[in-house]
């Protein structure tokens, strides 16, 4: 029996995982090979899943809740690079392939349930399934492009423009994020975010 099979909510978790952007195209045979590798883990709000600068890396498939990817400088100043919620992933695949340290941290914004496996196991699974590997690597590139676009946005758009862009691209997520987290992501104070909301800029 797999860890997932023994979970009291195994049926609903399987359904949720099969809707994940990376896992939705797995065949029945591929799923049977993949499921025994998974560990289902619950994380408290604020808990760190991966630490910037470490070499211990895992692949995450989000079942419930919201994760954030953050980077910190030597003075401890933190920047949020992206958020990810249900049916999404977070990963350190590029760093693992390049044999470099984890370039960012991954933390739980809310309570989170995720399925995870070691990057070694995930990479070995991908090597056995070329189509899944190709789709996953495209997704990793899309995520990197998304982070780059966000960083550029912080420099090029004014405060209302940054807020409007996020709302347009992440309508559902914007309703669920704590105001402090969203303000930090957009490089605003919570007061400025509230003021823009009151003025109808959101």
Block means of pLDDT (10 residues each) for the chain, 202 residues, are 90 96 96 97 97 95 98 91 97 95 97 98 98 97 96 94 92 91 95 84 52
DSSP assignment letter at 75: T
Residue 69 bridge partners (DSSP): 82, 106
175 occurs within a structural domain = no
Residue numbers of the domain that contains 49: 3-129
Would you state the structure tokens that stand for residue 132, as one six-digit string?
Answer: 């899944």
18 occurs within a structural domain = yes
pLDDT of amino acid 200 = 62
CATH of the domain at 13: 2.60.120.10
pLDDT of amino acid 57 = 94
What is the pTM for the complete model shown? 0.94
158 occurs within a structural domain = no
Whether residue 55 contacts residue 102, with contact meaning beta carbons closer than 8 Å, is answered with: yes
144 occurs within a structural domain = no
Count CB atoms within 10 A of the CB of residue 137: 14
The total number of structural domains in the chain stands at 1
8 occurs within a structural domain = yes
pLDDT of amino acid 183 = 96
- CA distance linking residue 89 with residue 118, whole number of Å: 14
95 occurs within a structural domain = yes
pLDDT of amino acid 175 = 87
163 occurs within a structural domain = no
pLDDT of amino acid 186 = 96
DSSP assignment letter at 129: -
188 occurs within a structural domain = no
């Amino acid at each position: 029996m797999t860890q997932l099979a023994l979970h009291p909510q195994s049926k609903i978790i399987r359904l949720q995982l099969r809707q994940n952007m990376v896992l939705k195209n797995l065949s029945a045979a591929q799923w049977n090979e993949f499921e025994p590798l998974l560990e289902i883990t619950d994380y408290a709000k604020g808990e760190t899943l991966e630490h910037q600068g470490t070499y211990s890396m895992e692949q995450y498939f989000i079942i419930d809740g919201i994760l954030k990817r953050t980077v910190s400088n030597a003075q401890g100043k933190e920047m949020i690079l992206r958020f990810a919620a249900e049916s999404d992933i977070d990963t350190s695949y590029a760093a693992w392939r390049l044999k470099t340290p984890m370039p960012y941290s991954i933390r739980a914004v809310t309570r989170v349930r995720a399925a995870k496996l070691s990057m070694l196991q995930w990479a070995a699974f991908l090597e056995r399934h070329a189509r899944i590997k190709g789709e996953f690597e495209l997704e990793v590139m899309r995520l990197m492009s998304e982070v780059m676009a966000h960083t550029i946005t912080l420099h090029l758009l004014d405060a209302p423009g940054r807020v409007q862009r996020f709302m347009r691209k992440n309508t559902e997520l914007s309703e669920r994020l704590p105001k402090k987290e969203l303000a930090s992501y957009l490089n605003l104070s919570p007061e400025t975010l509230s003021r823009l909301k009151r003025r109808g800029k959101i």
